[in-house]
Amino acid sequence: MNVVGRISALCALLCLISYSQAAEPTLPTSDKDRPQVVATFSIVAYDPEEEAWAIGVASKFLAVGHVVPWAEAETGAIATQSLANTSYGPNGLALLREGKSAAEVLEILVEADEQKQNRQVGIVDRFGNAATFTGEECLPWCGGKTGDHYACQGNILAGPEVIENMAAAFEKSEKPLAWRVMEALQAADQSGGDIRGRQSAAILVVKDGAGYGGFNDRMIDLRVDDHATPIQELARILQLKLEPSEKVQSEETQPEETQQEDAPEESADQDSN
């Protein structure tokens, strides 16, 4: 074989090797390369009086609010966790937008997922219908519960009481939706929560036109990404978020006579100066 022929053969061999390497999928080579399990507890909920949808979540996982919560006003809310499939968020919202119920969306998402045994998800639709799913290979204790306008779910928990108490706190509370969700997270945490510990928490509440300046639906979007007591810290910043509007509302609704009475009186010394 002449030099030109050898060079041509070598080029062909190199192309074949490059193609075969490109065709083979890149697989995780160590535990560090594999997605971390989002062991957590969460609640998705709807309030028909407020016409708002919410998600609350907490976990021993860095920045859990970046992964789990997905919501859209007039559409619904989704929490995806465990070995989380984040495509459940946008894909699920698209299906809800088409008018499918929470149960229908859940079935479609799970049946199309080859790793459904590792997934956990909770969904509430635009009407408050709720559904939850826990794959058979999610780490114990794991499970979920649905009720009127909400679904609670969690994995690697202290026990079923975490979810039961979470649901009970939400049902019992008569506060606005954001605080009902917050109290549900607090009840779950006080019941043992994630057995690995605490690290992050988040709350997302959406309502049509309730975002900053009325330009979007993000009524509340708060996250604590890395903290020793994330739920306590989340409650603190939620109070900061809601307190100004509550103060304005109380002043606006306060009788004019009372406001005048509350005004500080000028002292005699001030009058004489």
Which stretches in the chain have pLDDT values below 70?
1-35, 244-273
How far apart CA 194 and CA 116 sit, in angstroms, is: 22
C-beta of residue 95 within 8 angstroms of C-beta of residue 104: yes
Domains of the chain: residue spans and CATH: 34-243 (3.60.20.10)
Sign of the four-CA dihedral 252, 257, 258, 263 = positive
Task: Give the model's pLDDT for residue 24.
Answer: 37
Task: Give the model's pLDDT for residue 36.
Answer: 72
Averaged confidence pLDDT in the chain: 85
Task: Give the model's pLDDT for residue 35.
Answer: 66
Q: How far lies 254's CA from each of 37, 251, 265, in Å? A: 50, 5, 19
Task: Give the model's pLDDT for residue 248.
Answer: 44
Task: Give the model's pLDDT for residue 153.
Answer: 99
